[in-house]
Each structure stands twice: as structure tokens, then as C-alpha cells.
Amino acid sequence: MLGIIGGSGLTQLSNLDVSHREIVRTPWGEPSAPLSFGRIGKQEVVFLARHGFGHTIPPHLVNYRANIDALKRVGATWIVSVASVGGIRADMGPGALVVPNQIIDYTSGRETSFQHADGQQVLHIDFTEPYDAGVRVALLTAAREQGEAVVDGGVYAATQGPRLETAAEINRLARDGADLVGMTGMPEAALAREADVPYGALCVVANWAAGRADSTHEIRFEHIEATLHSAMGRVRHLIEHLCGA
Ligand code: HPA
């Protein structure tokens, strides 16, 4: 079963034929929302709204552990995260879709691991390639078959939020090698790896990052909503294709 975590702009999947919803409890607390189960085409899907159905949970307060654990418990065997981001690299302007291949984590104070001092052997996961190669290929193939231009690869900078970055911070991220910036990619990706669930991300560029292009002096939120609204239609089509619909 495919688990889809929807971020800003994707609090529900209109093409998901929902059969039932389930409130799942985990040792880590409750996930952001009840899980929605259903099918897209032949693919069984479980959907979770990362920020809650009413978009009320900010990035730094998302219970990432409960979200990943809940998806695994109900039988998700792979996860696609849909996340909106700011674009830093020149070819990642508003409306671009990106399947990133690397992450730099700038978050702090989040629960980053399922491990706690319970007498279990300490586990160091390999995270050289933070996204699952198979999930990335599935996303890129679905996009190509559909004629949807998706950028293959990019370094995702995970920032703490919920505020957006300063222009100087974005310059620093660019110098570090980051191509796009978002607030929810970590620890989500690392927890999925710990849980041994293949995980990939489809990033939707909502705006130029602070200090870039038309965000030179400020980031205009009215542009973000319009961009996300039209891009999420393309994302839904891409997911349908990914599911063989
Ligand atoms: N920065 C961080 N996260 C974001 C942005 C941004 O500019 N746009 C959408 N999510």
C-alpha cells in the first residue's frame, strides 16, 4: 500500500476514492490527522494530511514520529511525501516540480529518532542517499510518461520555520549547496529510513526563496496560494499516473 503525506496545498486527495478513515494511536502519540484509506486506480492508498485537515499544525510541531509510525502500522510499504518549498536554484521557480535527491538538515529541537534509551542496541541508519532510489524512479517515470516536466534531483534544505528565511540565510543555504528550502522534510525522511519504509519526495515550488527573483524584498503570500493551487492539480495527475490510474 502506498502512503501519501500531503503538505500545504494538499490536505486532501480529491482523486482518492476513500473507503474509510481511521484514527490511529501510536506509542509516539497521535498522527496529524485520521488516515484516509482508499484506492487510486488499482493502487491501495493511505493518505495523511501532514498539517492536519484544517492545516492547523505548524511544521515545527508536526508529530513526525507518530505520522511515520502510523503509516507503517497500517501497512504502508512505501511513502511519497508531497511538500511545498521555496526555490533557490535558477531552474526551480514557482510552479516547478522537483524530486530531490539530497537533504541538508537545519532543523533543531525536533524528535528525530524512534530510538530511546530502552536497553535496545543503538542503531545508526545509513543516510548517504536519504531518498529511496526506487520511489524516486517511480516518481520520475510517472512524470516522464505523462509529459510533466519534473526536475530530477536537488538538495533540499530543511529549515526550522515556521517563519520564512532571511535573504542572508538563503544565500548561506545556496553556498552550502541547497537548491530548494522547506520546513518539513526532516526528520520525516530519516524516520522513514529508521522505520525501513522506502520514502521519496515530490516538491512543489511555491515561491522564490527569500531574496531571490520576485522575492527580493518580500515573499508575497497571495502568489503562493495561486501557484500551489494550480501546481497541485498537476501533482494529483502525476499521483494518478504513479498509481496506474
Ligand atoms: N522557505 C521554507 N519553506 C517553504 C518556503 C520557503 O520559502 N516556501 C514554501 N515552503
User: Which residues have CB under 8 Å from 76's CB, separation 6+?
Assistant: 1, 2, 3, 46, 197
Distance separating alpha carbons of residues 25 and 46, to the nearest angstrom: 15
Closest ligand 1 atom number to CA of residue 159: 2
62 strand-pairing partners: none
CA of 85 to the centre of ligand 1 (A): 4
Nearest C-alpha neighbor of 1 from the set 30, 29, 42 = 42
Higher per-residue pLDDT: 222 or 171: 171
Distance separating alpha carbons of residues 42 and 85, to the nearest angstrom: 30
Return the beta strands (E) in 94-183 as ranges: 97-99, 102-105, 150-152, 155-158, 180-182
Place of cell 503509516: 71
Phi-psi region of 114 (alpha: psi -120 to 50; beta: other; left: phi over 0): alpha
Distance separating alpha carbons of residues 170 and 153, to the nearest angstrom: 19
Q: Which residues line ligand 1 (CB under 6 A)?
A: 84-86, 159, 164-165, 181-183, 206-207, 209
- CA 177-132-82 angle, 5° bins: 75
Closest ligand 1 atom number to CA of residue 209: 7
User: Which residues have CB under 8 Å from 44's CB, separation 6+?
Assistant: 1, 2, 37, 38
Average pLDDT over residues 8-22: 85
pLDDT digits (tens, 9 = 90+) for 90-124: 999 999 999 999 999 999 999 999 998 788 888 89
Which domains are seen in the chain, by residue range?
2-109+125-242 (3.40.50.1580)
Under a CB-based contact definition with an 8 Å cutoff, are residues 15 and 239 in contact?
yes
Read off the pTM.
0.96
Distance separating alpha carbons of residues 157 and 107, to the nearest angstrom: 9
Inter-CA distances, 99 with 74, 75, 180, Å: 26, 24, 11
pLDDT digits (tens, 9 = 90+) for 39-69: 999 899 999 999 998 889 999 999 999 999 9
CA of 86 to the centre of ligand 1 (A): 4
Model confidence band, residue 8 (pLDDT cutoffs 50, 70, 90): confident
pLDDT digits (tens, 9 = 90+) for 73-90: 999 999 999 999 999 999
Distance separating alpha carbons of residues 186 and 112, to the nearest angstrom: 8
pLDDT confidence of residue 121:
86
Closest ligand 1 atom number to CA of residue 164: 1
- Percent of the chain past pLDDT 70, that is, above it, reads 100
pLDDT confidence of residue 123:
87
Neighbours of 64 (CB within 10 A): 25
Please choose from 84, 105, 163, 164 the residue to mutate so as to test ligand 1's pocket, defined by most ligand atoms within 8 A of CB: 164
CA of 117 to the centre of ligand 1 (A): 34
CA of 50 to the centre of ligand 1 (A): 15
CA of 42 to the centre of ligand 1 (A): 34
Nearest C-alpha neighbor of 71 from the set 186, 190, 195 = 195
